[in-house]
Structure 1
Amino acid sequence: MTLLFDIAPYAEPVAADVAGREIYKRFQDEPDTLVIAVVDAANRPIGLIDRNNFLVRMAAQYGYALWSGRPVSFWMQTDPVIADGEMTVAEFCGRVLEERPSELLQGFIVTCGGRYAGVGTALALLQATATATATYAGEMSRMAEEAQGALAAKERFLAVMSHEIRTPLNGVLGVAEIVRRKSHQADLAPFIDTILDSGRTLLRLLNDALDLSRAQASGLELQEEPLAAATLLDDVIGLWSAHAELKGVRFHAAYEGPKDLWLLADRDRLRQVLNNLVGNALKFTAIGAVEVRLRAVVEGDCARLTGEVSDTGPGVPAELREAIFSPFHQAEAGVRLGGAGLGLAVCRQIVERMNGTIRVLEAPGGGACFVFEAPLYHVPAPAAAEAPGSPVEAAGGALHVLIVDDNATNRLVAATLCEMFGCTSEMVGDGADAVAAAATGRFDLVLMDIKMPGMDGVEATRRIRSGGGAWSQAPIIALTANADPADAAFYRASGMNGVVEKPLKPERLLAAMSAVLQMDPAEPVECAA
């Protein structure tokens, strides 16, 4: 059985009187360090410093001149999760998931005889439960009961931690995006960008873990739609150019192929592959350059899409070039720099679902060159559609929106975005109140959370649709972190008109609101029983 000692390595702790500037420098020098333990003179743990809480508080409340001289006792979490290293991972997960699930997001401390021995993270627990599942599955004949226990622990851990992580993270990213758009103070921009970058990194790690779990269970699906091949790198360039510039690494991305080529593919999954590969390349490249090349060659009814991401980092040893595409396998440099070891495994799963291949070669400059290929159908360019107006224009006047969410931060984000769009809004915190509010007929549109205690968003939608009268046909948009094609189809079958994924992005919410308001109100919405 895996012990906590096995997944919580010893990392240098700090004393309570260490100044904040030292913690800031350590987080800057160690970009993959997520938590730091605080100990007393006898090496007993007395607190924990979480990277994101530290940076968010610094950016939101204090200037460097004020907080840099304060001791870490001012910042640290004074009641961290602490466990003896001899405890098994299964026992630990069972206890903490019942008692203090959300606190796992800030890490935990492992002790030996009451003294500090190491520090662990929720990600390390996820790795351990996944590895245990794979190990037990291979020995099912003699360890069937333990295998089922490990599988159940992994699935429960994924389900609980997905919700626990996404809920506060959606709020952080949503509020930070609003602050970025509203702030006119240039000196705050780097701090806001730090919040957004850190949050997006956590979200990518979470998505990688969940995508890998779905893929292993044959649940990772592709949502194909026409897309312009020449635009696939726009998101990559926008996301990574500034990061490369700050790191002092040259970054170049180019598309080679017909400018008017349209492909039938899953845009988000292709971007996920490209972003994972580019993020890896920049992580391992301290000096030199990262280059991205995307080529499209028409071959009959198909087009062969080839992506290459090369760097001038340490490269990948020949004997590890196959293993690194397996979950939690990393080269020596990857272990040293940290990370989950999930990104490349997810890339392989996505590319293989596209009937493609992915491999790593030695780059001409001595680094690594990751190459993926996928055959995709090319399709005619879609007919040009008239750009949708704002929700205000679509409705012929100011919209009144009902916002339904059990999380106060999420309600604040949605209400602020509605205000930015020129809409008025009211907010409720559960499904039952949403049904009652909708029945008043005051609302032109409903933004509905899915997972809520008591009556969830799906049941609330069904009750609204069955109410009769014009108010029961008001457009309803699902706001959810679970927006896979199967989930979206289920929400629509339940009576919803559209789906927007959390964390909310202003342009996506605006587009969805505009789209559902342009539907024919004379056609009643069908609702599955």
Structure 2
Amino acid sequence: FYASAPIVTHDAHIIGTLCVFDSSPHQLDAIQQRAMEDLAAQVMALLERRRLAREATAAAEAKSRFLAALSHEIRTPLGGVLGMLDLLLMSELDDEQHHHANVARRSAETLLALLDGVLDLSKGEAGHVILASVPFNLVELTHDVVEVLSPLTRRHGTRISVRVEGAVPPRLIGDPNRLRQVLANLVGNALKFTVEGEVEVIVRARSGGVEIAVRDTGVGIAPEELKELFRPFAQGDAGARFGGTGLGLFISRELVRLMGGEITCESRVGVSTTMSVALHLESAVDEALAEPDVDDLRILVVDDDEVNRVVTVALLEAAGVEVEAVEDGEEAVDRVRERAFDLVLVDLELPRMDGAAIARAIRAIPSNVEMRALTGHVGGLRIDEALAAGMCSALQKPLRQADVEALLRELTSDAYANAS
């Protein structure tokens, strides 16, 4: 006995058959024949789902590669702007010049946060979001965000203020750039939806951490819209009226979750809205605030971008470190052969030899010098390759003064020295 049903594509192409064999003679009735045809259709549907899954995977990989390149191309000049502003603020300025430079730096940081907001969609999907863990002042960060966004208050005649409740630790350990991104989204939304009203940012100490609440007297959110609030591209009636992408709250929620926290919303239409972020952040211990002892510390910087190279060297030299800098991989390998370094900082995107190739060449000297990657990429593939080649970790570009301070504290800590 033999029976078959064709496997047909949606555009009427036969790509195979579903066959049934039996040693005994048999005749299919109409119901059994229909079942065969249904099974053949299910096989075709399964094959189609597999094809769509392959195409989706390929599209996601292409998007990740595109965003990685985009991130690198934008972060490189933006890193130069931020680095030069850091150096400018470390120079001799009068009060007015210092204020203007500080506002410019905070504006550039907010621009970087907005860039990260778009790129984090891809990173979150791929599981490649890298969180920093450095000391920062939460109250100062909150005031910075409010000052940068305060020009928006003039658009709608809105008042904005910051209030601190309880004993908020002066220094916390976490990712200030990601938190800045979240606060910029929340405060920006509050200002956008509040006309001739008030926006208040409240920073308060709570058991096991801190809470930041952004309260506004704006249009409010309807109960049915609250359920969709944190979905990507979700916009209520107010969102459609005031504009926006509908991504800010979704990205903020994902970042807060990555930081081990929770974001909630309470709202009454036409009365007020309060967005609250609860975070479990540890206080920075006194030892972490001590100036690192960088005597005899020697670092090699490898970066082909002149501005970023100058900024990185200047930040390290300002901290008292002996620094050498080269712009390609071959020079870096030769320099490591010639003298001893405590650390090599390598940009992953270099001509001729990329970061992973440099790491392999240095390990083949042989040398056990510590190497860390400098990367502006959103994806983790290049970082994974660098780690596999012998680097111990990656630092996100643009490298900032706080990043340098945290790195030097780690390199000079007793625990790190004993582990090495």
The TM-score, its normalising length taken from structure 1, stands at 0.56
Deviation at 1:215, TM superposition (A): 2.5
1:353 to 1:438, Cα distance in 2 relative to 1, 3 A:
closer
Amino acid at match of 2:253: R
Alignment counterpart, residue 237 of structure 1, candidates 130, 143, 147: 143
Alpha-carbon contact 2:302-2:325 (below 8 Å) kept: yes
In the other structure, the counterpart of 1:460 is 358
Q: Provide the secondary structure at the position in 1 that maps to 2:402.
A: helix
1:337 to 1:197, Cα distance in 2 relative to 1, 3 A:
farther
- Structure 1 spans left out of the alignment, 5+ residues: 1-138
1:297 to 1:186, Cα distance in 2 relative to 1, 3 A:
closer
1:372 to 1:210, Cα distance in 2 relative to 1, 3 A:
same
Q: Provide the secondary structure at the position in 2 that maps to 1:182.
A: coil
Deviation at 1:372, TM superposition (A): 4.2
Distance in 2 (CA, whole Å) between partners of 1:203 and 1:495 is 29
Q: Provide the secondary structure at the position in 2 that maps to 1:459.
A: helix
Deviation at 1:506, TM superposition (A): 1.8
In the other structure, the counterpart of 1:349 is 254
Deviation at 1:326, TM superposition (A): 1.9
Alpha-carbon contact 2:195-2:218 (below 8 Å) kept: yes
In the other structure, the counterpart of 2:376 is 481
1:150 to 1:360, Cα distance in 2 relative to 1, 3 A:
same
Q: Provide the secondary structure at the position in 2 that maps to 1:394.
A: coil
1:182 to 1:464, Cα distance in 2 relative to 1, 3 A:
same
- Flag the structure with larger Rg: 2
Structure 1 stretch displaced more, 486-495 or 311-320: 486-495
In the other structure, the counterpart of 1:501 is 396
Cα deviation code 1:50-87 (max 9, x no counterpart) = xxxxxxxxxxxxxxxxxxxxxxxxxxxxxxxxxxxxxx
Alignment counterpart, residue 306 of structure 2, candidates 408, 414, 424: 408
Alignment counterpart, residue 310 of structure 1, candidates 215, 230, 237: 215
In the other structure, the counterpart of 2:291 is 389
Is 1:371 the counterpart of 2:280? The answer is no
Distance in 2 (CA, whole Å) between partners of 1:260 and 1:191 is 28
Deviation at 1:309, TM superposition (A): 1.1
Alpha-carbon contact 2:152-2:191 (below 8 Å) kept: no
Alignment counterpart, residue 439 of structure 1, candidates 337, 341, 359: 337
Deviation at 1:337, TM superposition (A): 5.2
Cα deviation code 1:140-189 (max 9, x no counterpart) = 58966764564354333322212222222212222233234336366656
- Structure 2 spans left out of the alignment, 5+ residues: 1-47
Distance in 1 (CA, whole Å) between partners of 2:335 and 2:376 is 24
Structure 1 stretch displaced more, 438-447 or 353-362: 353-362
Alignment counterpart, residue 214 of structure 1, candidates 123, 133, 139: 123
Deviation at 1:345, TM superposition (A): 0.6
Deviation at 1:268, TM superposition (A): 5.9
Count of residue correspondences: 370
Distance in 1 (CA, whole Å) between partners of 2:146 and 2:305 is 31
Alignment counterpart, residue 421 of structure 1, candidates 319, 329, 333: 319
1:263 to 1:182, Cα distance in 2 relative to 1, 3 A:
closer
- Output aligned runs, 1:263-282, within 5 Å: 269-270=178-179, 272-282=181-191
